[in-house]
Amino acid sequence: MSSKTKIVVLRMKEIIYTAIFLGLGILLVLLLIIMFRPKKDAPVSSEVLYIPGIYTSTLTLGSQEINVEVSVDADRINAITMTPLTDSVETMYPLIAPSLSLLAEQICSAQSTADLSWPEESHYTSQVLVQAIQHALDKAAVR
């Protein structure tokens, strides 16, 4: 009758290292699960109105051409500017810069070219600018 008893000696250092590596492995698996699990779709704004970008429309004033630039996001109008607005254009057409700034402020706050108001002395200038802005917005619109 021979008994084959084996004695296994484990050092405390080996047990601690094994526990640490096991804990790090579990932490890594949990981190990967959290990072790559399917996410719920974030609520999208009500409607996509525009293709994001900067859209231009050209105005011809005398012999000069001016671009009216409209910057849009998917659902809002961000800014309206004119380029190149040289000193000669500002001198020859003094109502164009104030009219555009007034219209741009109203359009960006209302997000529409409808129901705009302008001073009587810049009636025709404002109409031409609104047409150019609407033309640029038509280019940006999702069809």
Which pLDDT value is given to residue 41? 64
Q: What is the pLDDT of residues 101-111, one digit of tens each?
A: 999 999 999 98
- Residue 130's identity, in one-letter code, is V
pTM of the shown model:
0.66
- Residue 60's identity, in one-letter code, is T
Helix/strand/coil for 64: strand
Residues of the chain below pLDDT 70:
1-2, 41-46
- β-bridge pairing 53-61 and 77-83: unpaired
CA–CA gap between residue 90 and residue 105 (Å, rounded) = 19
Tokens of 111: 């997000």
DSSP 38: P
Q: What is the pLDDT of residues 38-63, one digit of tens each?
A: 877 655 556 788 999 999 999 988 88
CA–CA gap between residue 84 and residue 68 (Å, rounded) = 9
Tokens of 89: 């254009």
Helix/strand/coil for 8: coil
